[in-house]
Amino acid sequence: MTEKVAVVGGGIAGVGAAWSLHRAGYEVELFEKGPALGGNAKTFRWTVGDGHADSPLLVVAWPQMYYHNYESLLDELGVGIETLPISYFVQTPDGHFCQDGQTAVQQRFAPEFRRWRKLVAFVTKVNDVFLPKNKHDSMYHFSYFNPMNLIPLYWLARLFGISSAFWDTIFVPIHCASFITTSMRSVPAVILPLLESIVPLEEPTQMGTWEGAPRQVFDRMTAPFADKVHTDHEITSVKRRNGHFVIGDAQGRTYEADRVVFACDATSVLNAIESPSWLQRLLFGNAQYVDDVDPTFARFVVHSDTSIFPEKHRERILSDFNTYSEIDEVGALECTFVISAQNPSIKDKGVPMLVTFNSKKAIGKVQKRIELPHPTHTMSLRNLLIMSMMRFLQGKDGMHYCGTFTTPEGGHDLSFMSGLVAAHEIGAPYPFSQDNPSAVADFNQMQRIMLKSGTRRLL
Ligand SMILES: Cc1cc2nc3c(=O)[nH]c(=O)nc-3n(C[C@H](O)[C@H](O)[C@H](O)COP(=O)(O)OP(=O)(O)OC[C@H]3O[C@@H](n4cnc5c(N)ncnc54)[C@H](O)[C@@H]3O)c2cc1C
**pLDDT, position 268:** 97
Ligand 1 geometric centre to CA of 264 (Å): 8
Q: Do 153 and 194 contact (CB within 8 A), yes or no?
A: no
Ligand 1 geometric centre to CA of 412 (Å): 8
Closest protein CA for atom 38 of ligand 1: 264
| 3-class secondary-structure state, position 432 | coil
Closest atom of ligand 1 to 414 CA is 19
Write down the number of H helices and E strands in the chain. 17, 19
Ligand 1 pocket check: which of 412, 417, 420, 421 to mutate, most ligand atoms within 8 Å of Cβ? 412
Question: Within 13 Å, how many C-alpha atoms sit on residue 221's CB side?
Answer: 31
Closest protein CA for atom 49 of ligand 1: 39
CA gap 98, 89 in Å, rounded? 5
SS3 letters across 17-77: HHHHHHHCCCEEEEECCCCCCCCCCCEEEEEECCEEEEEECCCCCECCCCCHHHHHHHHHH
Contacts of 430-434 with CB under 8 Å at 24 or more apart are 430/459, 431/19, 431/20, 431/23, 431/76, 432/69, 432/72, 432/73, 432/76, 434/459
Number of other residues whose CB lies within 10 A of the CB of residue 351: 19
**pLDDT, position 347:** 79
**pLDDT, position 131:** 82
**pLDDT, position 135:** 67
Binding site membership of 34 for ligand 1 (Cβ less than 6 Å): yes
Domain ranges of the chain: 4-42+214-288+377-455, 81-210+291-371
Give pLDDT tens digits for 342-384.
Answer: 777 787 788 999 999 999 889 988 888 888 888 888 878 888 8
**pLDDT, position 357:** 96
Which string of b and e fits 388-398 if b means at least 16 CB within 10 Å?
eebbebbbeeb
Closest protein CA for atom 6 of ligand 1: 59
Closest protein CA for atom 19 of ligand 1: 411
Binding site membership of 264 for ligand 1 (Cβ less than 6 Å): yes
Which string of b and e fits 219-238 if b means at least 16 CB within 10 Å?
bbbbeebeebbbeebebeeb
Residues of the chain scoring pLDDT < 70: 133-136
Ligand 1 geometric centre to CA of 376 (Å): 7
Closest protein CA for atom 13 of ligand 1: 59
Binding site membership of 341 for ligand 1 (Cβ less than 6 Å): no
**pLDDT, position 136:** 67
Q: Do 272 and 245 contact (CB within 8 A), yes or no?
A: no
Angle at 25 between CA 23 and CA 27, to 5 degrees: 105
Binding site membership of 355 for ligand 1 (Cβ less than 6 Å): no
Binding site membership of 376 for ligand 1 (Cβ less than 6 Å): yes
CATH of segment(s) 4-42+214-288+377-455: 3.50.50.60
Closest atom of ligand 1 to 233 CA is 43
Binding site membership of 11 for ligand 1 (Cβ less than 6 Å): yes
